[in-house]
Amino acid sequence: MHFLKRNDNIGNIYQMYIQKVFKGKNIGLNFVQETIKEATKRYHDLKIFLEVSVDDLQAKHFYLKAGFEQVQQIEGLSDILMKYSGL
């Protein structure tokens, strides 16, 4: 997973992959939560976003479980913009 702080108060999570053997063990969820925890500790009042394919229902469900909410479908793409809203 990559985390990139774009400007004063916006950050993005990119390219999170969990190997199949580790899925279903909350490793990915813990990884996302710890990344968000560290990012918000370093950068106060941070808004965190990510994009997920509209067809990837497993990833969308995962990020909803992690505290993200769907903001909008990105115009011209088959991606959904999601924003971290907390747990």
Give residue 11's pLDDT.
87
Torsion of CA 76, 58, 28, 20, to 10 degrees: -110
Burial of 5 (0-12, 13-18, 19+ CB in 10 A): middle
Which CATH topology does 2-84 take?
A: Aminopeptidase (3.40.630)
Residue type, 76: G
Q: Provide the CA 57 distance to its chain's centre, in angstroms.
A: 14
The first and second tokens of residue 9, run together, are 């108060």
Q: How do residues 26-85 score in pLDDT, each as one tens digit?
A: 888 998 999 899 888 888 888 999 999 999 998 999 999 999 999 988 777 789 999 999
For the chain, which residues make up each domain, given as ranges?
A: 2-84
Pairwise CA distance, residues 78 & 56, whole Å: 10
pTM above 0.85, yes or no: no
pLDDT score, position 69: 96
Question: Dihedral sign, CA of 51, 82, 53, 65?
Answer: positive
